[in-house]
Structure 1
Amino acid sequence: MDEYIVKNVKDFRLDHVFDCGQCFRWEKQADGSYTGTAMDRVVNMQFVCGDRASEPETTGDLIIKNCTEEDFLQIWKPYLDLDRDYGEIKRTLTADDLVMGEAVACGQGIRILKQDLWETIVSFIISQNNNIPRIKGCIENLSQMFGLPAGEYAGRTYYSLPGPQKLASLTAEDLAPVRLGYRTRYLLETAKMVCEKGLPEDEVQLSALCGVGPKVANCILLFSMAKYDSFPIDVWMARVMSQLYGIDEGDHKGMCTYAQEHFGQLGGFAQQYLFYYIREKNR
């Protein structure tokens, strides 16, 4: 099996990256590693912290199994956003913000993934009014029933999500076992729109897709379209902005305005630190 090791990775932790609500196809293993499917590949990632006591738990070596050097350079390096200086981002966000200081301290190893656009659209349409375990279950069922094999790891076959052409060919009855509920219509209509017009290239085209409201659009913009000033607001974000920044919980427009004024182009990074923080605080 191919294996690639990235030495001395900083500002990184697998649980912070894969358990902060931005992706749904990575599963923690008994040894602390994560196995997942993305970009039509299956890999296992393990992060080994440095031996020196002075080194933080967010500095260490990243071991990627089922991965060649070419795969790392072309797929996983950009996917994990490893070229970005997250230390500088954290310093900027926490300079004059005590709340953000607490949030960043909680999620020191977060990095925003650069995910496949179609997979992100499907995932966040499914995510509406849903909890993370159920979202993961729906995506896994959809992939196993209608996707193509992405590869094998540890004796298990993993599947990619079905593409827009495949999804558009299905009926609501076909998708009933996936248990998507009202989201079934959204996915089928969106798949047909993408087949007719292609994948969206900007926020206007994205928002025209069936089932894509402001929150879902902002998630897609942030996690797959590199629009890092996006500030998705769900019930968790409304809670943290209300409790810690004093903005009325129903004033989503006011929250977005605050994010634009205080976080600017780093709004998406701020959102991820705050989202992870409030969920960890309420566990």
Structure 2
Amino acid sequence: MDISDCKLLKVTMDFSKLNEWRTLPCPKCEIQLDIVLACGQSFRWTQLHPGIWCGVFAKKLWLLKQNEDEVMYQVFGGKTTDSTAELIDYLQLDVNLNDLYKKWAKDDSIFSKMVDNKFHGIRVLRQDPVENLFSFICSSNNNIERISSMVEELCVHYGEQIETFGEKTFYAFPTVKALASVGVEAKLRELKFGYRAGYISRTAEYINSQEEGEKWLYNLRMEPYDIAREKLQKLTGVGAKVADCVCLMSLDKPGAIPVDTHVQQIACRDYLPSLKDKKSLTPKCYDEIATHFRNLWGEYAGWAQAVLFAAELQRPKVKNLVCLPQGRKSTKMEEIAKVSEPKTKIKRKKIK
């Protein structure tokens, strides 16, 4: 998967719909939205304006931005729930990333040299397992723009409508039951999903046939990493890397290490020179790389891998921005970006 591209979302801004921004105290050393939301973890985020991100999760439409000390957000659509708690959970802000960086730098001199201030604040999102799984089934031999387009097609054709913003309607990610319905594979082939259409349909049918239905996938959060990974690989279109992506990004397995060609290059060049002569990423080579990094970086090894992955790619550039209304100056976004909500204190986990 190539994450060097960014998807295009053309929306005419409807300034009348913008609310006042709510805030979370969170310095940039704990999260850099411009990297985290564009680095190929989730495929539903796009920039409305430099530094202002638009995306969907928890069946709501979100706008996010940040300054040096705060993450600011607006929410549209969906049920009335604790949006602050949902955002903290999604961004995993209870994890003290600064402490993790210090630990990794202490334990790994190579990490310390590779990661400068530009790559601080890179954390792993806690995504919905259904969206995460089917999005990464789409990722096989694909780039971020095409994956994003496929995910959008799934949402438009099989997801629940949640909000219209400007001239664009936003949808929640479809349920497993919706993706297991009759005719899905044929429709997705018509939409140019290719062989992935069959993967999506058969995987949805398998999960839907389980006694727990969709809960089968969510219950993997409570399984040990090895068991969850093994069960995922029984699904059509899910190999070791996709299984590890899902374990890391939605099943609460922070030690999962997805190994692709970029991670393989990092490992062979800087950590395991004995693997330089390996021309392909065999299962044995994959496991050797993942085990080495888990032993080196500890419980949150998958997070450390995500940092080096972003550093290796030199941070993907955002090429496409949303079209602003004619005659509207970009500074208008800042003029309306007033903050009135009280600050929320975030309780962070202690890193051992």
TM-score after normalising by structure 2: 0.72
Q: Secondary structure at the match of 1:263?
A: helix
The runs of 5 or more residues in structure 1 that have no matched partner are 50-59
SS in 1 for 2:73: strand
- The answer on whether the counterparts of 2:203 and 2:235 sit within 8 Å (CA) in structure 1 is yes
Alpha-carbon shift at residue 6 of structure 1 (Å): 2.4
| Secondary structure class of the residue paired with 2:71 | strand
Alignment gaps of 5+ in structure 2: 1-17, 318-352
Which 10-residue stretch deviates more, 193-202 or 9-18?
A: 193-202
Please name the residue that 1:30 is paired with: 49
Secondary structure of 1:22's match?
A: coil
Count of residue pairs the alignment pairs up: 273
* Counterpart among 39, 43, 56 of residue 62 in structure 2: 43
2 CA distance for matches of 1:31 and 1:154?
A: 18
Separation (CA, whole Å) in 2 of partners of 1:192 and 1:263: 37
Residues 281 and 21 from structure 1, CA distance in 2 versus in 1: closer, same or farther, beyond 3 angstroms? closer
Q: Which residue of 1 aligns with 2:299?
A: 265
State the alpha-carbon separation in 2 of the partners of residues 27 and 5 from structure 1.
20
Pair 1:160 & 2:172 matched = yes
- Aligned residue number for residue 213 of structure 1: 239
1:133 pairs with 2:145: yes
Q: 2:21 matched to 1:9?
A: no
2:144 and 2:47 map into 1 onto residues whose CA distance is 14
What SS does the aligned partner of 2:287 have? helix
Cα RMSD, aligned residues only: 2.1
SS at match of 2:313: helix
Give every structure 1 segment of 4 or more consecutive aligned residues whose post-TM-superposition deviation is greater than 6 Å: none
Give yes or no for contact 1:146–1:162 (8 Å, CA) kept in 2: yes
Aligned residues of 1:4 and 1:72 also touching (Cα < 8 A) = no
Give 1:14 shift.
0.7
2:157 aligns to what SS in structure 1?
Answer: helix
Contact 2:107 2:297 in 1 (8 A): no
Residue in structure 1 matched with residue 75 of structure 2 by the alignment: 66
1:57 aligns with none
Partner deviation per Cα, 1:69-91 (whole Å, 9 max, x = no partner)? 94323311100111111111111
Could you give the per-residue CA deviations for residues 227-283 of structure 1, whole angstroms, max 9, x where no partner exists?
011000011111221222234253222201211211121211111001111111798
Secondary structure class of the residue paired with 1:66: strand
Question: What are the superposed Cα offsets for residues 131-177 of structure 1, whole Å, 9 maximum, x if unpaired?
Answer: 11111111112211222212233442111222111111134221123
In percent, how many aligned pairs have the same letter? 28
Q: Secondary structure at 1:161's aligned position in 2?
A: coil
What letter is aligned with 2:73? I
Deviates more, 1:88-97 or 1:174-183: 174-183
- Listed as ranges, the matches of 1:162-241 within 5 Å are 162-169=174-181, 170-197=183-210, 198=213, 199-200=216-217, 201=220, 202=223, 203=228, 204-241=230-267
